[in-house]
């Protein structure tokens, strides 16, 4: 409870500052457009919909998939949990921890009526100070997972893609918002309180 409060305070402090921005203004803009908080527990990436669509073009799916900007767990009619890759920086500017990478960023792909979909990408917390991270996903891994899943949901036979097997750092459930929400394949219950 206390660290939630602290991280909220740090988050609003970080968001209101204009001096040292951890990422480019384009990055910030795309979050604003998504209606998301860059330091929240989850993020959605509607700006990548056109890339997912481009991947699906050859499959000629009818009707085509559309990104549901107002979807919720209650209105979704199906989901698939997997992970993507990316990097994080601590949102707490007084924290000394350098950024960290993850090959196991939890993502919940949700299905809605009439070929609607969205995807929630779960944030991770800093090992040092437990503040939420500022996420920068590997867009290719997102597009690949999404297009694979939407083809499967469309009834198209797809070969399971071969993912890079290189091991990333150990997944720590207590630092993963996906694990906390019960939406991560890597969840280890004994690490959560
Ligand atoms: Zn930190
Ligand atoms: Zn996790």
C-alpha–C-alpha distance, residues 87 and 133, integer Å: 9
Ligand 1 center–CA 66 separation, angstroms: 36
Q: Residue 158's pLDDT is what?
A: 87
Q: Is the peptide bond before 82 cis (omega within 30 degrees of 0)?
A: no
Are the beta carbons of 152 and 136 closer than 8 angstroms?
Answer: no
pLDDT in tens, 9-65: 444 433 333 333 344 444 444 444 444 455 789 999 999 999 999 999 988 899 999
Report residue 163's pLDDT band, with 50, 70 and 90 as the boundaries.
low
**Containing domain of residue 144, as a range?**
2-15+22-159+168-191
* For the CA of 176, the nearest ligand: 2
- Alpha helix stretches (DSSP H) within the chain: 2-16, 25-34, 49-56, 139-153, 177-180
For the chain, strand residue ranges (E) read: 42-43, 66-67, 78-90, 100-112, 116-122, 133-137
CA of 98 to the centre of ligand 1 (A): 8
Compute, in angstroms, the gap from residue 54 CA to the centroid of ligand 2. Answer: 29
- What's the predicted TM-score (pTM) here? 0.78
Protein residues placing their CB within 5 Å of the ion ligand 1: 90, 92, 95, 97, 126, 128-129, 131
Ligand closest to Cα of 124 equals 2
Q: What tokens does 101 get?
A: 């990478």
The encoded tokens of residue 38 equal 């860059």
Q: Which ligand is nearest to the CA of 104?
A: 2
**Total number of domains constituting the chain:** 1
Q: Quick one: how many helices (H) and strands (E) in the chain?
A: 5, 6
186 CA distance to ligand 2 middle (Å): 5
How many angstroms separate the CA atoms of 174 and 186, rounded? 11
Q: Which listed ligand is nearest to 192 at the C-alpha?
A: 2
C-alpha closest to that of 53 among 187, 154, 124: 154
Say if residue 66's pLDDT is above 50: yes
């Amino acid at each position: 409870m206390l660290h939630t409060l602290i991280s909220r305070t740090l988050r609003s402090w970080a968001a209101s500052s204009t001096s040292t921005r951890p990422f480019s203004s384009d990055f910030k803009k795309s979050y604003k457009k998504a209606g998301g908080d860059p330091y929240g527990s989850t993020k959605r990436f509607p700006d990548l919909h056109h890339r997912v669509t481009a991947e699906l073009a050859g499959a000629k799916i009818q009707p085509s998939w559309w990104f549901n900007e107002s979807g919720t767990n209650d209105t979704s009619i199906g989901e698939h949990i997997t992970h993507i890759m990316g990097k994080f920086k601590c949102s707490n500017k007084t924290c000394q921890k350098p950024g960290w990478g993850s090959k196991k960023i939890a993502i919940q792909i949700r299905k809605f009526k009439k070929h609607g979909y969205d995807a929630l990408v779960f944030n991770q917390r800093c090992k040092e100070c437990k503040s939420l991270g500022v996420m920068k996903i590997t867009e290719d891994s997102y597009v690949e997972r999404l297009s694979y899943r939407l083809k499967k949901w469309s009834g198209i036979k797809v070969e399971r893609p071969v993912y890079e097997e290189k091991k990333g750092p150990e997944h720590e459930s207590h630092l993963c918002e996906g694990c906390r929400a019960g939406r991560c394949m890597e969840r280890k219950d004994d690490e959560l309180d």
